[in-house]
Amino acid sequence: MTQTEERTPTTTDRSPGEHALADALAQLKFAVDLLGYGDGLHQLLASARRETRVSIPLRRDDGTMEVLTGYRVQHNFSRGPTKGGLRYSPDVSLDEVRALAMWMTWKCALLDVPYGGAKGGVTIDPRLYSKGELERVTRRYASELQPVLGPDKDIPAPDIGTDEQTMAWIMDTYSVNAGYTVPGVVTGKPVSIGGSLGRSTATSRGVAQVALAALQHVRVAPTAATAAVQGFGKVGASAAQFLADAGVRIVAVSDQYGAVHASNGLDVVRLHEHVAVTGTVLGFADAEPMDPDSLLTLDVDLLVPAAVEGVLNAANAADVRATVVVEGANGPTTAEADQILRGKGVLVVPDILANAGGVIVSYFEWVQGNQAYWWSVEEVEERLHQRMLAGWTAVVESSQQLGITLREAATVIAVQRVAEAHQIRGLYP
């Protein structure tokens, strides 16, 4: 059961998804205006090539049935098959997925990965469902989208609420329907069935690498730096560990349940062990509980928002005291907050650069799968490091040459690459 969704206008009383889409469109308009593109090209870049909504009937373990809603937005095909995560969250909406798919297009182009952007989501709170129920949701979602997925069409990956097991279910469902094993239909899957070494921590490693480069840029040595990490999950937890390994003092972290603080620095290794046992950072013996919202305004050198969209906004941006903000999450800083932080002199490293490590190593996984030849973890991490630093250097140089922010520079570089690909290919028919 699929149908194409029409875009609905936003209102002044916007949902988080509508805010995210408005911000993505505003960033695109800035780049289009600076590059001097006409209205037609602007409209093409602003519009998703395909938007699909699917109904997902689910039989619960108790025998009752409910119907969930899933989305997949494929934003642009000009540079290759589309690529993007699949998230399970009660907050998933079509506008949110539209924004995330557009940001994925720019992310892939900025890091010179030969993909367009896509994103998917199911409006579900995975904490309220059994593993068997989540498997049935995943397989039905994949089955409904089978015609538009594929290693040369659109390649999902894990995101909020999903993991390598989710990708294994999608791969198996797609392969069973195809009649043969298709490992390249997803990335971020278990190594035992064709996943890449280094993929599980790739986003976090990239965030840490760019954060260290940004600290160096503002002349703060890692061993003298303090940091707060909002979101101790897939991205934030390992990013905190990599930063701590480099000598950064992690003074506060938070998760969906609360936050903890230690002015002398958290023992991140022991915190990982605590979370593995309890499921939350709360109750960690060597730290004090704190208000999670206050973490965002701590007096630190580095702030890493690594949870969800819109956490830095007009209400709290003026109180941010970090010198550098590195966006581990997608869209954590609203347009209003961006302007406020710019006025305060805060260096904001945008998500399409900072958290691109995941899609880079997803690309490596896809390449390895196509070649049936696997790289060592050292090869993966070295190639990731090269790509991240090349992206950082290009964005900083463009920012300085044009006198614009890092986010604006990153978007301009990416939009120009996508537009050039479209123009070279031409318009069919």
Q: Domain for residue 158, yes or no?
A: yes
Q: Domain for residue 230, yes or no?
A: yes
Q: Domain for residue 368, yes or no?
A: no
For the segment 239-277, what is each residue's pLDDT rounded down to a tens digit?
999 999 999 999 999 999 999 999 999 999 999 999 999
pLDDT at 124: 97
Q: What type of residue sits at position 169?
A: W
**C-alpha pair distances (Å), 137 with each of 315, 376, 426:** 37, 34, 39
Residue matched to tokens 């710019």: 342
Q: Domain for residue 130, yes or no?
A: yes
Contacts of 138 (CB under 8 A, 6+ apart): 166, 169, 170, 173
Sign, CA dihedral 380-115-170-74, equals: positive
DSSP summary character for residue 182: -
Rounded mean pLDDT of the chain?
A: 93
Alpha-carbon span 98 to 229, nearest angstrom: 27
Phi, psi dihedral angles at 106 (to 5 degrees) = -70, -40
Q: Which domain holds residue 92?
A: 20-180
Q: How many Cβ atoms are within 10 Å of 319's Cβ, its own excluded? A: 13
> Angle CA(56)–CA(48)–CA(27) in degrees, nearest 5?
120
Q: How many Cβ atoms are within 10 Å of 191's Cβ, its own excluded? A: 15
Question: Is the domain of 176 the same as that of 206?
Answer: no
Question: Is the domain of 214 the same as that of 167?
Answer: no
Question: Is the domain of 290 the same as that of 333?
Answer: yes
Q: Which residues are catalytic?
A: 119
The CATH number for 261's domain is 3.40.50.720
Contacts of 393 (CB under 8 A, 6+ apart): none
Alpha-carbon span 361 to 344, nearest angstrom: 34
For the segment 340-354, what is each residue's pLDDT rounded down to a tens digit?
999 999 999 999 999
Domain boundary among 324, 345, 366: 345
Question: Is the domain of 152 the same as that of 267?
Answer: no
For the segment 63-111, what is each residue's pLDDT rounded down to a tens digit?
999 999 999 999 999 999 999 999 999 999 999 999 999 999 999 999 9
The CATH number for 46's domain is 3.40.50.10860
For the segment 10-42, what is each residue's pLDDT rounded down to a tens digit?
445 678 788 889 989 999 999 999 999 999 999
pLDDT category, 8, cuts 50, 70, 90?
very low
Question: Is the domain of 217 the same as that of 333?
Answer: yes
Q: How many Cβ atoms are within 10 Å of 383's Cβ, its own excluded? A: 16
Question: Is the domain of 253 the same as that of 313?
Answer: yes
| 203: its two tokens | 């986003």
Q: Domain for residue 11, yes or no?
A: no
Question: Is the domain of 79 the same as that of 123?
Answer: yes
Question: Is the domain of 253 the same as that of 289?
Answer: yes
Q: Domain for residue 410, yes or no?
A: no
Strand order through the sheet with 50-59: 2-4, 50-59, 65-74, 116-123, 82-89, 154-158
Number of separate domains in the chain: 2
Q: Domain for residue 15, yes or no?
A: no
Question: Is the domain of 99 the same as that of 162?
Answer: yes
Question: Is the domain of 175 the same as that of 210?
Answer: no
Phi, psi dihedral angles at 130 (to 5 degrees) = -75, 165
| 13: its two tokens | 């009383």
Q: How many Cβ atoms are within 10 Å of 119's Cβ, its own excluded? A: 31
Domain boundary among 345, 362, 381: 345
Alpha-carbon span 272 to 279, nearest angstrom: 10
Q: Domain for residue 393, yes or no?
A: no
* Residues 270 and 244 sit within 8 Å (Cβ to Cβ): no
- Beta-bridge mates of residue 2: 54
**β-pairing, 116-123 with 154-158?**
unpaired
pLDDT at 229 over 80: yes
Domain boundary among 327, 345, 363: 345
Q: What is the end-to-end Cα distance of the chain in Å, rounded? A: 29
pLDDT category, 315, cuts 50, 70, 90?
very high
pLDDT at 15: 82
Question: Is the domain of 141 the same as that of 217?
Answer: no
Alpha-carbon span 156 to 142, nearest angstrom: 10
Question: Is the domain of 124 the same as that of 211?
Answer: no
